[in-house]
Structure 1
């Protein structure tokens, strides 16, 4: 007999099988600027006047609407359209409306080229701080804003070109679409340096630049390997002119309104950074204007690289902070074994260790921004410090990002491994920042190059470290090791040297500016060796409560 079960009734007081308990509520809305270390450094580096704007932007970045834009921009990836319906070559990339919404806010808030038109001391620091809080949205659209910011000092090497383009690159108006650049209210810039046969070895480039009858105007023929944000209005490109590798300005649309030859062969299928299109453009009779002398292309475009490397550090620090906030939020609302996760000693150690790493990254990022701000205003000492410290910071902070985001993801357990938590997107993003603008080896070699060719850079580095001399024996010992190892450094030991330089810089900043418990924990672990091989191994006397009270919102 088959039972009908008609007489079986569920208990009236039974809970539904799909009732949701012990899950964290959504993080948004939250305040992305709720970061003590960031606000303190903003004032310290001369941009305290921007605090109100940074706090307003932080509230917007953590808002429900903007967080939804970020998710949609990554879910609906850009699409390449090589031809229109009639067969005409157009080489356009279509983005989801959420991408344009994010871009519009970023440009309006001065995160692209605006600081170059702002005469206030600290303008570049304010932009970096804005990037640290707006970076809580999504990373892809930070690429075109970064390249636009970085293009301005390069174009200033050609005053006639700068007179036309700089006012539009420093505009706070986002105007997408391909049309004559001079007729737009605001422009975006990109760059095309690498080629498939050379990568970071740009001197191996084969793209050829042929002079025309018009002075300073060339035609290009060749194929670039990684050119992000292909819908930008203008690009700085490296190509081989008769006298060697040179820098050129390539507009997508020419002054007469015709499309320049910019054939997008394909979009890269990338691990992360999915909202941002990275393309392989082909040049064939492409019109370009020379920027700087022939044969000095690397020296000309290096100003752009220095700026974008700072942004790699900034974006890594923003990603660390974003994932730490997510981990803290989850552990405050999730219970296990009879207590909230955040109240359990082992989890508190993990969170405190992450908070310590995040504060060190934020402090170094804004110190680098302060050096950049003062360097562009003529401070030679800060220029020398910027030259070496940006490469050091780019190497180290971006290297810490992947391990950091993995640990923060793990704080959410299986929930963190699910796409709709947002954590996988952040995790995929983290490795890019150590690759973009030179991998770890490239930056380590750049530090050696600076030390060998510009002796003033070492003096500037040790002058910065001397400001913390005598405050902590472990820091003093690490500085002594750095001073000992610096003169004979070679390629084989370059990573070890750069890592030590980064840790001493971070330690010196924390000793000078952070609470004693924070500085002591950093020096004990990162410099004194009282640390394990993963996050969450701070010594028992590390002052976890003080670190967490400073580093975790709502703690």
Structure 2
């Protein structure tokens, strides 16, 4: 009988995740950890079942039905079965609510994002509108608009699926993209003091939600970002009809295909300003730390899924007389990927700790500035790393990694969204420059030094890497074009160096408290691949290569 290779199988993704379990044991008070462990265990079991079932289930995608049988415009979006169960799971496990509840104080965000990390891959990217809902709740709370807070927050943070709302974040337009200052949506004020929105939104990933926050330019206001206003709208009117919204089509995307991303027109959509009818971009700023953290946590979840599958397969697959996991080069390849993941994990979950402390007023003096730098760093690095690890995972399965119904190619397609959503790598690298311009690099180096002090040593050159970053900044500070052209390398150097300091602190704790040397091994491999990624290429050479290339 012909040999048939057994497929990888996942166990409980909480119990099997050494990195997550050790981190929570170290970072959370014992009582907090004990109170959430039951939910994490259930989410870990659900994640395993969802993967193992997905291999035998036909994939499904959302469907837009624009007209009913009698010719009436209905723009109905049919969602997948997993999405239909999304509200119940969100409410049951507090995937948004847990981050805003006061039960665990400054640890609320770490509690929440541990849940998100376990659930993300099983959710078919239902976590995307959850991220925007979380961001909307955060922005509304920061706005001080009591009427909208009383109206929307109980729904956004509900633990009852019958009353839970999803929020969209409708910013992207064909003219603007990341440059929201080119937004063309117009807000018109009528004689009764009510606002109505008109314009085209190019990407709306939560069109099935009950509300949205969106930018628009009040009619007659000058151009530029400062003249934009932030508006709150509910997607349906009191009769259940669309609120001046027309869905043009659903996007045909590379990945995240279960997620209904739409193009739409606002044609007299009733909306309310969140604050004054100016400076709307400032009002959305509180969203960014939240949605970028969601992006980084979900990128981590993809890395973890990829590695869990690759390791399981390597233990099952025999080639050249022994299991893949026993082949030296394959073992070294997987170990290098695992080390990158472990460093990234420490950085991302440190950001969740900072976010929780800042939001609850429990932060130290430098925490807010540090959060401002580390959030875009974590997002840009994990976005790129998730794509790399997903690509290596396809390769680790050989030909099976290229076959659609193994589920492996989808991991790579879906991973490509992380470097794009909530700011591309270049946009975020420039954001890091702005944060450093406002706060300097000293806060980063002080925080890294404190972490290394807890670790007891700096055997892997973290301080020298941060010194190199400081020297590079000084050397290029007078030449803005050179500074911007090297912003990626600077950002990656800072991300890798700070992550190494965090991993060193965790590794010392794990060895001391648990007798576990896995994290020490991860740190050694991670650091051996280099912390410094500074770009010293000449501006003239870059210009020559790009300006004079043949079309």
Q: For residue 391 of structure 1, what is the aligned residue in structure 2?
A: 376
- What secondary structure sits across from 2:495 in the alignment? helix
State how far apart, in whole Å, the 2-side matches of 1:61 and 1:233 are: 27
State how far apart, in whole Å, the 2-side matches of 1:473 and 1:335 are: 36
Task: Find 1:303's aligned residue among 279, 286, 300.
Answer: 286
1:211-251, Cα deviation, whole Å (9 max, x unpaired): 23455x41000000101021100001011125510111111
8 Å CA contact 2:91, 2:164 repeated in 1: no
Question: Shift of the alpha carbon at 1:475?
Answer: 1.3
Question: Shift of the alpha carbon at 1:516?
Answer: 2.8
Q: For residue 58 of structure 1, what is the aligned residue in structure 2?
A: 44
Task: Find 1:319's aligned residue among 302, 310, 324.
Answer: 302
- Distance change in 2, residues 1:361/1:473 (3 Å): closer
Q: For residue 273 of structure 2, what is the aligned residue in structure 1?
A: 290
Question: Shift of the alpha carbon at 1:87?
Answer: 2.5
Task: Determine if the alignment matches structure 1 residue 83 to structure 2 residue 67.
Answer: yes
8 Å CA contact 2:98, 2:111 repeated in 1: no
Question: Shift of the alpha carbon at 1:498?
Answer: 0.4
Q: For residue 514 of structure 2, what is the aligned residue in structure 1?
A: none
Question: Shift of the alpha carbon at 1:491?
Answer: 0.7
1:276-331, Cα deviation, whole Å (9 max, x unpaired): 01111101111011112222111111211221111111111110110100001111
Q: Structure 2 length as normaliser, TM-score?
A: 0.86
Q: For residue 498 of structure 1, what is the aligned residue in structure 2?
A: 491
State how far apart, in whole Å, the 2-side matches of 1:372 and 1:173 are: 26
Question: Shift of the alpha carbon at 1:367?
Answer: 0.6
- Distance change in 2, residues 1:117/1:250 (3 Å): same
- Distance change in 2, residues 1:387/1:290 (3 Å): same
Task: Find 2:341's aligned residue among 358, 377, 386.
Answer: 358
State how far apart, in whole Å, the 2-side matches of 1:294 and 1:114 are: 32
Task: Determine if the alignment matches structure 1 residue 376 to structure 2 residue 359.
Answer: yes
Q: For residue 475 of structure 1, what is the aligned residue in structure 2?
A: 462
Task: Find 1:174's aligned residue among 161, 173, 180.
Answer: 161
1:363-398, Cα deviation, whole Å (9 max, x unpaired): 111111111111101225322211110001111111
Question: Shift of the alpha carbon at 1:102?
Answer: 4.1
State how far apart, in whole Å, the 2-side matches of 1:528 and 1:460 are: 19
- Distance change in 2, residues 1:261/1:395 (3 Å): same
Q: For residue 510 of structure 2, what is the aligned residue in structure 1?
A: none
Task: Find 1:409's aligned residue among 363, 373, 394.
Answer: 394
- What secondary structure sits across from 1:275 in the alignment? coil
Moved more, 408-417 or 377-386: 377-386
State how far apart, in whole Å, the 2-side matches of 1:71 and 1:318 are: 22
Question: Shift of the alpha carbon at 1:32?
Answer: 4.5
Q: For residue 180 of structure 1, what is the aligned residue in structure 2?
A: none
Q: For residue 177 of structure 2, what is the aligned residue in structure 1?
A: 199
Q: For residue 429 of structure 1, what is the aligned residue in structure 2?
A: 414
State how far apart, in whole Å, the 2-side matches of 1:203 and 1:415 are: 46
8 Å CA contact 1:245, 1:296 repeated in 2: yes
Larger proportion of helix: 2
Task: Determine if the alignment matches structure 1 residue 187 to structure 2 residue 187.
Answer: no
Moved more, 202-211 or 32-41: 32-41
Q: For residue 525 of structure 2, what is the aligned residue in structure 1?
A: 521
Q: For residue 132 of structure 1, what is the aligned residue in structure 2?
A: 117
Task: Determine if the alignment matches structure 1 residue 512 to structure 2 residue 505.
Answer: yes
Structure 1 runs of 4+ with >4 Å offset: 69-72, 255-258
Moved more, 398-407 or 85-94: 85-94
Question: Shift of the alpha carbon at 1:66?
Answer: 6.1
- What secondary structure sits across from 1:285 in the alignment? strand
- What secondary structure sits across from 2:358 in the alignment? helix
The aligned length equals 497
- Distance change in 2, residues 1:451/1:71 (3 Å): farther
Q: For residue 24 of structure 1, what is the aligned residue in structure 2?
A: 6
State how far apart, in whole Å, the 1-side matches of 2:157 and 2:89 are: 14
State how far apart, in whole Å, the 1-side matches of 2:191 and 2:417 are: 42
Question: Shift of the alpha carbon at 1:257?
Answer: 4.8
- What secondary structure sits across from 1:369 in the alignment? helix
Q: What is the correspondence of 1:335-350 to structure 2 with a 5 Å cutoff?
A: 335-350=318-333
1:437-456, Cα deviation, whole Å (9 max, x unpaired): 1111110111111222x32x
Q: What is the correspondence of 1:99-110 to structure 2 with a 5 Å cutoff?
A: 99-110=83-94
8 Å CA contact 1:91, 1:264 repeated in 2: yes
8 Å CA contact 1:267, 1:277 repeated in 2: yes
Q: Any unmatched runs of 5+ in structure 2?
A: 222-226, 478-482, 508-518, 534-551
8 Å CA contact 2:98, 2:109 repeated in 1: no
State how far apart, in whole Å, the 2-side matches of 1:293 and 1:466 are: 42
Q: For residue 42 of structure 1, what is the aligned residue in structure 2?
A: 24
Question: Shift of the alpha carbon at 1:28?
Answer: 3.9
- What secondary structure sits across from 1:222 in the alignment? strand
- Distance change in 2, residues 1:286/1:136 (3 Å): closer
Q: What is the correspondence of 1:219-238 to structure 2 with a 5 Å cutoff?
A: 219-238=196-215
State how far apart, in whole Å, the 2-side matches of 1:305 and 1:250 are: 20
State how far apart, in whole Å, the 1-side matches of 2:124 and 2:498 are: 26
State how far apart, in whole Å, the 1-side matches of 2:357 and 2:418 are: 25
Q: Any unmatched runs of 5+ in structure 1?
A: 1-15, 176-184, 530-555
Q: Let me know the Cα RMSD of the aligned residues.
A: 2.1
Q: For residue 330 of structure 1, what is the aligned residue in structure 2?
A: 313
- Distance change in 2, residues 1:29/1:520 (3 Å): closer
- Distance change in 2, residues 1:247/1:69 (3 Å): farther
8 Å CA contact 1:113, 1:152 repeated in 2: no
